[in-house]
């Protein structure tokens, strides 16, 4: 029994937000069910991260490395936590030495949702309407599709942003549909946006579990939760993001899907003002997710540099 080996409850670290706690609770329930353990075997440890403490500042102003994960990762390395649960899109593409992502839960909805006070969809919002978002990707896509809208920085927890919307600070905001679903708030979405027009952030909708590499007891415990299709798709997207040196300052979108033994990655970069969108679609074997992500990123880099290079990887490319 793992409880006998550890001599205590299993400590699950999470941010202290309602969404993060809901995700950690889901992980605890799944671990209990698949390992035949009582839910009391798990302790959810709530930590406040730098990103939470500076919740009113625009993300690019406060820095991005470990913004929502560093405090949790420090506790993993000191063995104060056994595992940490993250929204995978918040996790840096290069992890601290000694840590790894040991499981991905089945992915939720990857799409963005528009929530407006008037009930108008994205294309029906009047010119000059104010839309709040903290995401440079969402802001850039809004600038591309609706340059007549006014986009302002808009941070805070989901509930905080919905309250600001209700108070009339903005006319609309964009939120991850996955987060709304997990908080039982799916009904507040005015419109769920087509990912072909409004592609998601890399790893959006995915929950991942991070553990210390040396903690084999916990790694074995969480391995039963790993969902292969989500893991392959998200690793492909994260490889694409890592190769582009993406951060919260960089408008980058990516979405990979698995079809049998094949994975299809659709990636995009765009300038912050909505100009110069560059898209790529790459198909390849699921056994080569890292290669697919890297090749797609190199294709984007070449196109943005104004040069077309012949690909010799054996992958199938399609670009705009």
- For the stretch 285-313, pLDDT in tens is 999 999 999 999 999 998 877 744 444 44
Sheet holding 83-87, edge to edge: 42-47, 10-15, 83-87, 207-212, 99-104
Judge whether 177 and 194 are in contact, CB under 8 Å: no
Q: Which helix (H) or strand (E) holds 132?
A: strand 130-132
pLDDT at residue 317 in the model:
53
Q: Which fold has domain 236-319?
A: Double Stranded RNA Binding Domain (3.30.160)
- In DSSP notation, 266-298 reads EEEE--TTS---EEEEEEEEGGGHHHHHHHHHH
Q: Which residues are catalytically annotated?
A: 90
Rounded Cα gap, residues 147 and 128, in angstroms: 9
Same-fold call for 112-192 versus 236-319: no
- For the stretch 169-202, pLDDT in tens is 999 999 999 999 999 999 999 999 999 999 999 9
pLDDT at residue 68 in the model:
77
DSSP, collapsed to helix, strand or coil, labels residue 185 as coil
Rounded Cα gap, residues 237 and 282, in angstroms: 11
8-state DSSP, 55: T
Segments in the chain below pLDDT 70: 1-6, 50-66, 246-249, 307-320
**Which CATH code fits 2-105+206-226?**
3.40.190.10
Say how many CA atoms lie within 13 Å of 190 toward its Cβ.
Answer: 18
Q: Which fold has domain 112-192?
A: D-Maltodextrin-Binding Protein; domain 2 (3.40.190)
- For the stretch 75-106, pLDDT in tens is 999 999 999 999 999 999 999 999 999 999 99
- Domain ranges in the chain? 2-105+206-226, 112-192, 236-319
Rounded Cα gap, residues 239 and 207, in angstroms: 17
């Amino acid at each position: 029994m793992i409880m006998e080996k550890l001599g205590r409850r299993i400590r699950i670290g999470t941010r202290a937000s309602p969404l993060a706690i809901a995700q950690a609770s889901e992980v605890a329930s799944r671990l209990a069910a698949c390992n035949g353990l009582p839910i009391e075997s798990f302790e959810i440890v709530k930590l406040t991260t730098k990103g939470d403490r500076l919740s009113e500042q625009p993300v690019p102003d406060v820095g991005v490395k470990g913004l929502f994960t560093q405090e949790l990762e420090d506790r993993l390395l000191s063995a104060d936590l056994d595992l940490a649960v993250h929204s995978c899109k918040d996790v840096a593409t290069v992890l601290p030495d000694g840590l790894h992502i040991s499981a991905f839960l089945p992915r939720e909805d990857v799409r963005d949702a528009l929530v407006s006070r008037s009930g108008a969809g994205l294309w029906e919002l009047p010119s000059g309407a104010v839309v709040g978002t903290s995401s440079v990707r969402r802001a850039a896509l809004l600038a591309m599709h609706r340059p007549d809208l006014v986009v302002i920085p808009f941070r805070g927890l989901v509930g905080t942003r919905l309250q600001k919307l209700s108070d009339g600070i903005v006319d609309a905001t964009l939120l991850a549909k996955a987060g709304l679903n997990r908080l039982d708030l799916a009904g507040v979405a005015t419109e769920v946006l087509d990912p072909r027009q409004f592609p998601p952030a890399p790893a959006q909708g995915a929950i991942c579990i991070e553990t210390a590499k040396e903690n084999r007891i916990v790694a074995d415990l969480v391995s039963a939760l790993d969902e292969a299709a989500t893991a392959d798709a998200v690793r492909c997207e994260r490889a694409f993001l890592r190769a582009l040196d993406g951060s919260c300052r960089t408008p980058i979108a990516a979405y990979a899907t698995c079809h049998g033994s094949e994975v299809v990655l659709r990636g995009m970069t765009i300038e912050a003002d909505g100009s110069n969108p560059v898209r790529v679609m790459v198909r390849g074997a699921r056994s080569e997710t890292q290669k697919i992500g890297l090749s797609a990123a190199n294709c984007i880099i070449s196109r943005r540099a104004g040069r077309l290079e012949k690909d010799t990887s054996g992958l199938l490319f399609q670009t705009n």
